[in-house]
Amino acid sequence: MSKTERLHRLLNSEIRMRVLETVHESPKSLRDVHDDLNAPKTTVRDNLQTLTEFGFVKERRDRRYAATPSGAAALQGVAELEKRVETADRLRQFLQTADDEFVLEVKHLEDAIIREPTRSEPNIPITSFINLYRESSTVQARWPVVPPVLWEHWHDESTVDEATFVLPEPVAECVVDDSTEIAERVINGPIEVVATTSSFELGIGLFDDTVLLQTFDQNCQPQALVEIGSDPCQAWAHNQFETALQNGRAIEESI
């Protein structure tokens, strides 16, 4: 029987998984497993025998059963799979919207924080963006739009020392035309606006050590905002930013 077939048969049986988990915690006799799971002895015996045949469990000389290294690895793999499925479910809306551009594996998103509009907090993606911006010293961002709602919620100065915004050409021109307001309300230090010919719909920002990913609806209104700090995400975001930067031209510096 192949490894895939063994894992498939393991995952297809809840009681088999529970038996394996029980003997992985500590070596147990048939009676111990029966008592722990409150399952019929025949069921426990049959599953212990099957798990032994799979190589996931071994019977010791003292007649107690214990998980083998293969059994422990199988449990770890199942736990990791469950965590990734939970992450994918939690980030479903973001992943569906950003599907064409976002290529990172779900395992790199397990610690991600997602902000999505709710009835009580319809603008939480934009206010979260502003709050993180205020707390950052260096910002590198590749953003497809600058939603008007941004200015409606921006009231205080930030502590940003340096920022580079890579924007599609029409958006970049509009931002530069409004540069006085940006200088007064957004940034304390130099800001560079780059107009790029790259096509993208996903907003990507490097805010010090935090990666921000932003999706927008058809009306350019912010949808899901995701905060991630993992190294693979930072490397991917930096590469995306640099690619857009290389395809652009600076149209305003030191605003």
Q: In the predicted model, what is the mean pLDDT of residues 90-94?
A: 86
Q: What is the pLDDT of residue 182?
A: 53
Q: What's the pTM?
A: 0.73
Which part of the chain is CATH 1.10.10.10? 3-81
Domain with CATH 3.30.870.10 in the chain: 92-252
- Determine the pLDDT at residue 12: 78
Task: Identify the residue with better confidence: 14 or 11.
Answer: 14
DSSP string, 163-188: EEEEEEHHHHHHHHHTHHHHHHHT-S
Statement: residue 119 has pLDDT above 80: yes
In whole angstroms, give the CA distance from residue 143 to residue 171: 9
CATH fold for domain 3-81 = Arc Repressor Mutant, subunit A (1.10.10)
Residue 29 has pLDDT above 90, yes or no: yes
Q: Which residues are 216's β-sheet partners?
A: 222
CATH number for the domain running over 92-252: 3.30.870.10
Q: What is the pLDDT of residues 39-90, one digit of tens each?
A: 999 999 999 999 998 889 999 999 999 999 999 998 998 888 888 899 889 8
Q: List the Cα angle 114/101/175 in 5-degree steps.
A: 80
Q: What is the pLDDT of residue 99?
A: 63
